[in-house]
Structure 1
Amino acid sequence: MRIMVNVTFFTLAAYSDTGAFKHLYFMIVMCLYMLILCSNLLLIVVICVNRSLHEPMYMFLCSLFVNELYGSTGLFPLLLLQILSDIHTVSASACFLQIFSVYTYACVEFLNLAVMSYDRYLAICHPLQYNTRMTANKVVVLIAVTWLFPFLMIAVLISLSAPLQLCGNVINRVYCGNYGIVKLACSDTTLNNIYGLVYTVISIIIPLLLILYTYVKILRVCFSGCKQTRQKAVSTCTPHLASLLNFSFGVCFQIYQSRFDMSSVPHMLDILLSLYFLTCQPLFTPLLYGLKMSKIRIICKRLLCGDV
């Protein structure tokens, strides 16, 4: 029989005693966090201060970089604190705040990638109508929806999880997850599970289907078009596809990891893979777009080298 407890804090049980290595781990994670902050901030500044980059594609990119900063900040400060701590606990309010941050980050990322694929679809498949169909007002609306809709969805998710009566406070992860809290519940979680399924479909499945549809259309134009059209499609779509595949892998593994037994996986590998979509994507995205997109690469080089 499970006994209900009054939970004011959660214990993150995935941390192991690192002993003398904890300061080394702290420095590695801190350097990674600083690299993520600097690379994303650099590209946000480059896009904002250069009027030549005030185009829809770069505005969506700027939104993506802001989201990378938001998501990594939802993870790293608490992660750094836990690495140095001997007692790996987090207050209930801080835990739900981290869940809100991490889940909205993931939802915004998928929606932002879907909007970017729609933008590329219009640019490649309807180039003559692009300026009339992708207006400044439409860009603002798409970015606003990309951010506000996930905030609303996750607010509902948290409002369903927070009142649950819990029979424990141990989460077997290095950061807080909503499903980890739902598994601790003594009360009925049917509504939580149904809404969790709806959230997954809306935030992951539908954006992926939209991206698949746009790329089918883009590929048709590429195969039937001239060499110049194919080169344009490859140069603008390759970074987007690479970013999408990288993030999708991390999220799919995180979903699998939270719902199935991972005891056969080495503990350190389990931790690294659980952090993949929150660490590699914020680092991978600015490097990928900064290197692959010539306009951004040239302006970054001028900015860093001090050239006018």
Structure 2
Amino acid sequence: MGDEVNSTYVVLGGHVEADKYRLLYFLIILTIYILILCSNSVIVYLILIHQNLHEPMYIFIASLLLNSVLWSTVIYPKLLIDFLSEKQIISYSACLLQFHMFYSIGGSEFLLLAAMAYDRYVSICKPLKYSVIMSKTTVSILLILAWILPASQVAVPAGLSANKKLCSFILKGVFCNNTIYKLQCVVSRAQIIHDMVILINVALLPVLFILFTYSRILIITYRSSREVRKKAAQTCLPHLVVLINFSFLCAFDVITVQLDSDFPKTLRLIMTLQLIMYHPLFNPIMYGLKMKEISKHLKRLFFPAKQI
């Protein structure tokens, strides 16, 4: 039964007039993918080579941007192949792998943002203990947990789905997300509960933690000097904007599955492309422009003549 399911091919039915606009789709997605790789990699490179950026805050930013590259790589190469293919298909086993990688890396995004929030909290609220609390060991542990915890938890529903009987072979999307549940004949209550637990662990709890830490930062900085408030705003605002942006996109990913056939196919494709295009480009722009030290190194890299 398991071998039969795993050898099954699924049609990616979310494409709109792929034959007619094949080359246009390919060029747009290829351009966006190159921009994502370049923009994120440049900032990661700057953080690696400059000693003054070897601080926990910038290490977390580099990890977040690397996470965006990984997240995009899970989707874009397959998407580019599909636009050049006559049929947009994927094996069910490969679909489950993409499903696993998409949500485990997405979960890592929330946990990395939570780690960044904790770093800002310690820096602003406990500055005298910062170097002790945010040691290299602490940073390493937080990074490892951010990548391992979601991957290990999402592996369970992916593994359970491998042997599920399929009653449909047309996926209403251009890549494998939680719409794969619509292919299965039966989705058990235990599976739904387990997915809700994962959602709480890797998304809801980190978001609540982030909101709590930033509320504490807001209360403490409100009582402090203007300089402290300015510093807090410069370092915390980009993180909050990225969190809000990513949270809305993830909420859309969940909602579209519930709407199912009531959601227009063209609109679904447009919104899906927003999810995979907008956020990976938004992060480097936000951190590159709003983080003072990173912005300074970017100007030196691209406009060296003006620094003389």
**TM-score, normalization by structure 2:** 0.93
Q: 3-state DSSP class of the match of 1:90?
A: strand
Q: 3-state DSSP class of the match of 2:183?
A: coil
The runs of 5 or more residues in structure 1 that have no matched partner are: none
User: Aligned pairs, how many?
Assistant: 303
Q: CA deviation at 1:181?
A: 2.3
Task: Say if 1:188 and 1:280 are closer, same or farther in 2 by CA, change over 3 A.
Answer: closer
CA contact (8 A) 1:6 1:166 kept: no
1:191 aligns with 2:190: yes
CA contact (8 A) 2:7 2:93 kept: no
Q: CA deviation at 1:262?
A: 5.5
Question: Which moved further from structure 2: 67-76 or 121-130?
Answer: 121-130
1:260 aligns with 2:264: no
After the TM superposition, which segments of 4 or more aligned residues of structure 1 sit over 4 Å from their partners?
A: 4-7
Q: CA deviation at 1:187?
A: 4.4
Q: CA deviation at 1:180?
A: 2.2
Equivalent residue for 1:271? Answer: 269
Identity, % of aligned positions = 38
Equivalent residue for 1:122? Answer: 122
Equivalent residue for 2:105? Answer: 105
Give the superposed CA RMSD.
1.8
CA contact (8 A) 2:179 2:257 kept: yes
Q: Deviations over 1:154-183 (max 9, x none)?
A: 212211111111122111111112x32223
Task: Say if 1:39 and 1:133 are closer, same or farther in 2 by CA, change over 3 A.
Answer: same
Task: Say if 1:243 and 1:52 are closer, same or farther in 2 by CA, change over 3 A.
Answer: same
Distance 1:29 1:182 in 2: 27
Code of the aligned partner of 1:275: L
The runs of 5 or more residues in structure 2 that have no matched partner are: none
1:285 aligns with 2:283: yes
CA contact (8 A) 1:262 1:270 kept: no
Question: Which moved further from structure 2: 291-300 or 17-26?
Answer: 17-26
Equivalent residue for 2:181? Answer: 182
Code of the aligned partner of 1:267: K
Equivalent residue for 1:12? Answer: 12
Correspondence 1:37-186 to 2 at 5 A: 37-177=37-177, 179-186=178-185
Distance 1:188 1:304 in 2: 53
Code of the aligned partner of 2:258: R
Distance 1:20 1:154 in 2: 36
Code of the aligned partner of 1:98: Q
Equivalent residue for 1:302? Answer: 300
Q: Deviations over 1:57-99 (max 9, x none)?
A: 0110111011000000011111111222221111122211211
Equivalent residue for 2:28? Answer: 28
Equivalent residue for 1:251? Answer: 250
**TM-score, normalization by structure 1:** 0.93
Task: Say if 1:119 and 1:262 are closer, same or farther in 2 by CA, change over 3 A.
Answer: farther
Q: CA deviation at 1:124?
A: 1.0
CA contact (8 A) 2:105 2:147 kept: no
Q: 3-state DSSP class of the match of 1:203?
A: helix
Task: Say if 1:188 and 1:45 are closer, same or farther in 2 by CA, change over 3 A.
Answer: closer
Distance 1:158 1:127 in 2: 43
Q: 3-state DSSP class of the match of 2:21?
A: helix
